[in-house]
Amino acid sequence: MSTVEELKLRVRELENELIRCRQKCSGAEQPVREKIHTMSSEVVDSNPYSRLMALKRMGIVQDYEKIRSYTVAVVGVGGVGSVTAEMLTRCGIGKLLLFDYDRVELANMNRLFFQPHQAGMSKVEAAEHTLRNINPDVTFETHDYNITTLDNFNHFMERISHGGLEEGSPVDLILSCVDNFEARIAINTACNELGQVWMESGVSENAVSGHIQLIIPGETACFSCAPPLVVAANIDEKTLKREGVCAASLPTTMGVVAGILVQNVLKYLLKFGVVSHYLGYNAMQDFFPKMSMRPNPHCDHSHCRRQQDEYQRREAEQPREEVVEVEEEVVHEENDWGIEVVSEVTEEELKESSGPVPDLPEGITVAYTLPAQKDSAEGAMVQETDESLEELMARMKQI
Amino acid sequence: MSTVEELKLRVRELENELIRCRQKCSGAEQPVREKIHTMSSEVVDSNPYSRLMALKRMGIVQDYEKIRSYTVAVVGVGGVGSVTAEMLTRCGIGKLLLFDYDRVELANMNRLFFQPHQAGMSKVEAAEHTLRNINPDVTFETHDYNITTLDNFNHFMERISHGGLEEGSPVDLILSCVDNFEARIAINTACNELGQVWMESGVSENAVSGHIQLIIPGETACFSCAPPLVVAANIDEKTLKREGVCAASLPTTMGVVAGILVQNVLKYLLKFGVVSHYLGYNAMQDFFPKMSMRPNPHCDHSHCRRQQDEYQRREAEQPREEVVEVEEEVVHEENDWGIEVVSEVTEEELKESSGPVPDLPEGITVAYTLPAQKDSAEGAMVQETDESLEELMARMKQI
């Protein structure tokens, strides 16, 4: 029979063990470190920002603290999106909005971020939990829904227009980390309508190539202007699974794509280095094609054409010299796609620094074919994908 | 005053709460999933290997299951090494040996992998704990010591010679993810002596460039043959910290370097794609230089020269045609470094697929200068780094 003293000792032991478990456990409800109100450059072991603030002393970033004033929306919290969100969290971004409707499965464990004990949880909930523990200074807002349904799309539009760090202000950037065509089209539609800058990312079904792309509505090609060379599994994985097959994926390729995506985000937001318009990654050859694409003046998407008009008007208000330059680069009449390689550097420099223009090397595949060819009332501007891509490549090579 | 009944109730409550905490917590002692004895391609949510085994159906890897037969040693479990170990764990590597003597600090939280609740723990212990929970099928062996001291170096040599999956067999590959010169020299010494293949990785002090390099003793340049273009902070971070300064680091750059490193490991072990000899990453420009370096016939390291002799002898036993090819590529007499660009493809193809040979663009810096110039008894083969690199680059351009 236990005495009162023995029981009291046991209670104290258990209480201490529980405290230790909660401290040790990333699942503890309390954040493990206190919030930090001002980013400091102080070089002490307890400062989670010292290595980031060192970018200022190194002459890379002028005002690193500004990261805290930005809001980024990540759509798709899978293999690329989760790592993207983690990198931004560790960099000390101001606010993250996470959108996903999927659950964590053991089948996701071949990619970074999620852990087996989270199987069954919603991806946004599991992600928020882990990220909040990593950096309690970040503000999180999560939405466990599919943005492609009408109601959710309207809510998505509302949140990206008003969900900034200061409620009511728009987000600064949207990152597409989704794995299907419909979701990309939804993001493209929202961003064209709002004139919202976003970045696309994708990984091929065979897991050995990927890309990132910067889309500035009206200024660079939107997702409807031209198909990207590489996108993730076009067919919903759910459909594939029913047939007993699934897309391949690797933590390496997805980690590289998330890394180059968030690097591009940091360069864009904090204004350093050269922000890439399109950067591909072919893992088989370690080949990284780079290019820029102008918007298609005949783009299907009316808001894209409107953004193009507005961009042209803004450009026309610039000093005369620049206007001339723009006119010189006008799209050739025979260019069915209305796409051309745009370079801020000379063609020689581009060749020097970018490697060759891609001619669909092994591992890069066209992920989908375009909708059936249009009635040529407006002029046949859309041809079969295969042929047009070859033509595009041929033209690019001639430049 | 508490009664025995009340205390007993409290004990039961606490015990249950502790069980819940441990279950919820990734810190639970029990792995969250059972071990899996045979890798399966079955497409079900509960199979953590379905997306990896799909690489076979996609025609990328012939025998993915072979990953389980390999042992990889990761030296340095910091910003690059921890993510490297996590990727290999999620890919289902057979065995991982982890070497590091550092503790986790909040100052590490700007990179992936470690979490605030692990602050104060040894890096190898914290890493093993997380990794074992992610994939209990992997065998782990950790060593919490500095490999550069004499005793530890001998133990390190013993473990890489005999610590393979089948005790007594050597490891298959060593990955250097360290942040200092001494540790790289130690790994280089061990690998030259044992003829052990390894891969080098590094990130620059300003956090915006990095590289990976494959070293096959006798066949490609070793770490003593030529300085890499980019390495991590040469000065120990501990020394830097005392002066109130530290190297900058970013989760993006380190994630990309870990990604291209482990991708190269997978290509090397599972025999697919092209294994890169040297791949650089310049984040400012999104520029990825690629090259190959022959060993220096006058390398300071006697075991490197011995490995070169052995490689030459093995090569000489190959059919006549190949020998001629090798002799054609002999190093020019005036080449002080004994280095030349080696290409398995034509020079045109190399140019096409690799981009330009690097001429130290912004962000790529020579991380250290060589030891003072040697007495020229053996012929002056080592010059001041800056000058020689320029010469090297000039020669490369002429090729």
Angstrom distance (rounded) from CA B319 to CA A146: 61
| Amino acid (1-letter code) at residue A128 | E
Mean pLDDT confidence for B378-385? 30
Please give the residue that has the higher pLDDT: either B226 or A321: B226
- Please say whether the beta carbons of B59 and B67 come within 8 A: no
Q: What does B3-27 look like in DSSP terms, one character per residue? A: -HHHHHHHHHHHHHHHHHHHHHSTT
- Please say whether the beta carbons of A122 and A115 come within 8 A: no
- Please say whether the beta carbons of B80 and B55 come within 8 A: no
Please give the residue that has the higher pLDDT: either A389 or A52: A52
Q: At B180, is the secondary structure helix, strand, or coil?
A: coil
- Please say whether the beta carbons of B90 and A83 come within 8 A: no
Whether residue A337 is predicted with pLDDT greater than 80 in this model: the reply is no
CB atoms within 10 A of CB A15: 14
The pLDDT value recorded for residue A19 is 77
| pLDDT classification of B242: cutoffs 50, 70, 90 | low
Mean pLDDT confidence for A200-225? 95
Two tokens at A24? 């040790």
CA distance to B3, B217, B247, B338, per residue, from B295 (Å): 79, 8, 31, 7
Q: At B222, is the secondary structure helix, strand, or coil?
A: coil
Q: For chain B, what is the radius of gyration of the CA atoms?
A: 24
B50 closest CB neighbour out of A27, A116, A246: A246
B247 closest CB neighbour out of A54, A109, A288: A54
**pLDDT tens digits, residue range B122-147?**
999 999 999 999 999 999 999 999 99
Q: B43 vs A246: CB contact, 8 Å cut-off?
A: yes
Q: What's the mean per-residue pLDDT of chain A?
A: 80
The pLDDT value recorded for residue A389 is 44
**pLDDT tens digits, residue range A63-81?**
999 999 999 999 999 999 9
| pLDDT classification of B20: cutoffs 50, 70, 90 | confident
Pick from B261, B285, B292: which is nearest to B364 by CA? B285
Two tokens at A38? 């001002």
The pLDDT value recorded for residue B177 is 98
The pLDDT value recorded for residue A345 is 35
| pLDDT classification of A357: cutoffs 50, 70, 90 | very low
The pLDDT value recorded for residue A14 is 87
**pLDDT tens digits, residue range A181-198?**
899 999 999 999 999 999
Mean pLDDT confidence for A242-249? 81
Q: B353 vs A355: CB contact, 8 Å cut-off?
A: yes
* From A310-324, B12-26, B344-358, the region with the lowest mean pLDDT: B344-358
* Distance of residue B377 Cα from the nearest chain A Cα, in angstroms: 41
The pLDDT value recorded for residue B381 is 29
Q: Which of A273-282, A345-354, B360-369 has the highest mean pLDDT?
A: A273-282
**pLDDT tens digits, residue range B227-238?**
655 443 344 445
Catalytic residue among A21, A25, A246, A304: A246
Point out which residues pair with B210 in neighbouring strands: B203, B281
Q: What's the mean per-residue pLDDT of chain B?
A: 80
Among this protein's residues, is B246 annotated catalytic?
yes
Angstrom distance (rounded) from CA B20 to CA B32: 13
B137 by Cβ neighbours in 10 Å (0-12 / 13-18 / 19+) ranks as buried
Whether residue B258 is predicted with pLDDT greater than 80 in this model: the reply is yes
**pLDDT tens digits, residue range B66-123?**
999 999 999 999 999 999 999 999 999 999 999 999 999 999 999 999 999 999 999 9
* Distance of residue A168 Cα from the nearest chain B Cα, in angstroms: 29
The pLDDT value recorded for residue A44 is 92
Angstrom distance (rounded) from CA B127 to CA B348: 44
Mean pLDDT confidence for B280-295? 95
Give Cβ neighbours of residue B19 (< 8 Å, ≥ 6 apart): none
Number of CB pairs, chain A paired with chain B, less than 8 A apart? 339
Residue of chain A whose alpha carbon sits nearest to that of B56: A248
**pLDDT tens digits, residue range B30-80?**
557 889 999 999 999 999 999 999 999 999 999 999 999 999 999 999 999
Angstrom distance (rounded) from CA A43 to CA B106: 11
Q: Provide φ and ψ at B244, rounded to 5°.
A: 80, 15
Angstrom distance (rounded) from CA B381 to CA B379: 6
- Please say whether the beta carbons of B64 and B53 come within 8 A: yes
- Please say whether the beta carbons of A211 and A187 come within 8 A: no
Helices (H) and strands (E) in chain B, counts: 12, 8
* Distance of residue B313 Cα from the nearest chain A Cα, in angstroms: 30
The pLDDT value recorded for residue A355 is 30
The pLDDT value recorded for residue A388 is 42
Two tokens at A262? 């968030």
Parallel, antiparallel, or unpaired for β B198-203 and B209-215?
Answer: antiparallel
Whether residue B332 is predicted with pLDDT greater than 50 in this model: the reply is no
Q: Does any CB of chain A come closer than 8 Å to the CB of residue B172?
A: no
- Please say whether the beta carbons of A259 and A201 come within 8 A: no
- Please say whether the beta carbons of A120 and A103 come within 8 A: yes
| pLDDT classification of A31: cutoffs 50, 70, 90 | low
- Please say whether the beta carbons of B130 and B26 come within 8 A: yes
Give B57-239+246-316's CATH code, choosing from 3.40.50.720, 3.20.20.120, 3.20.20.10, 3.40.1180.10.
3.40.50.720
CB atoms within 10 A of CB A104: 25
| pLDDT classification of B8: cutoffs 50, 70, 90 | confident
Mean pLDDT confidence for A359-373? 33
Whether residue B359 is predicted with pLDDT greater than 50 in this model: the reply is no
Q: In what order do the strands lie in the sheet containing A209-215?
A: A139-143, A95-99, A71-75, A173-176, A198-203, A209-215, A278-282, A290-291
B274 closest CB neighbour out of A92, A260, A284: A284
Point out which residues pair with A293 in neighbouring strands: A341
Two tokens at A384? 């079969």
Angstrom distance (rounded) from CA A297 to CA B141: 60
The pLDDT value recorded for residue A116 is 95
| Planar angle of CA B359, B360, B366, nearest 5 degrees | 135
The pLDDT value recorded for residue A321 is 57
Whether residue A365 is predicted with pLDDT greater than 90 in this model: the reply is no
Whether residue A157 is predicted with pLDDT greater than 80 in this model: the reply is yes
Angstrom distance (rounded) from CA B91 to CA B53: 10
* From A80-94, B72-86, B368-382, the region with the lowest mean pLDDT: B368-382
Q: Does any CB of chain A come closer than 8 Å to the CB of residue B51?
A: yes
A51 closest CB neighbour out of B57, B208, B249: B249
**pLDDT tens digits, residue range A97-117?**
999 999 999 999 999 999 999
B236 by Cβ neighbours in 10 Å (0-12 / 13-18 / 19+) ranks as middle
Mean pLDDT confidence for B272-297? 95
Q: What does B230-286 look like in DSSP terms, one character per residue? A: --S-SS-HHHHHHTT------HHHHHHHHHHHHHHHHHHHHT-S---SEEEEETTTT
Q: Does any CB of chain A come closer than 8 Å to the CB of residue B54?
A: yes
Whether residue A11 is predicted with pLDDT greater than 80 in this model: the reply is yes
**pLDDT tens digits, residue range B162-187?**
999 998 999 999 999 999 989 999 99
| Amino acid (1-letter code) at residue A34 | E
ipTM of model: 0.77
Two tokens at B80? 């690059």
B90 Cα distance to chain centroid: 16
DSSP annotation of A80? T
Q: Which of chain A's residues have a Cβ under 8 Å away from the Cβ of B42?
A: 244
The pLDDT value recorded for residue A18 is 80
The pLDDT value recorded for residue A4 is 85
Please give the residue that has the higher pLDDT: either B291 or B27: B291
Q: Where are the alpha helices (DSSP H) in chain A?
A: 4-24, 50-57, 81-91, 123-134, 150-162, 181-194, 237-242, 251-270, 302-316, 320-328, 347-354, 385-398
Residue of chain B whose alpha carbon sits nearest to that of A272: B284
The pLDDT value recorded for residue B244 is 73
Q: Mutate which of A51, A275, A353, A364 to test chain B, going by most B C-beta atoms within 10 A?
A: A51
Q: B272 vs A284: CB contact, 8 Å cut-off?
A: yes
In this structure, chain A runs to a length of 399
The pLDDT value recorded for residue A33 is 83
Q: Does any CB of chain B come closer than 8 Å to the CB of residue A205?
A: yes
Percent over 70 (pLDDT), chain A: 73
Parallel, antiparallel, or unpaired for β A198-203 and A209-215?
Answer: antiparallel
Whether residue B289 is predicted with pLDDT greater than 70 in this model: the reply is yes
The pLDDT value recorded for residue A2 is 63
The pLDDT value recorded for residue A99 is 98
- Please say whether the beta carbons of B273 and A208 come within 8 A: yes
In this structure, chain B runs to a length of 399
Angstrom distance (rounded) from CA A185 to CA A39: 38
| Amino acid (1-letter code) at residue A260 | I
Q: In what order do the strands lie in the sheet containing B198-203?
A: B139-143, B95-99, B71-75, B173-176, B198-203, B209-215, B278-282, B290-291
Q: Does any CB of chain A come closer than 8 Å to the CB of residue B91?
A: yes
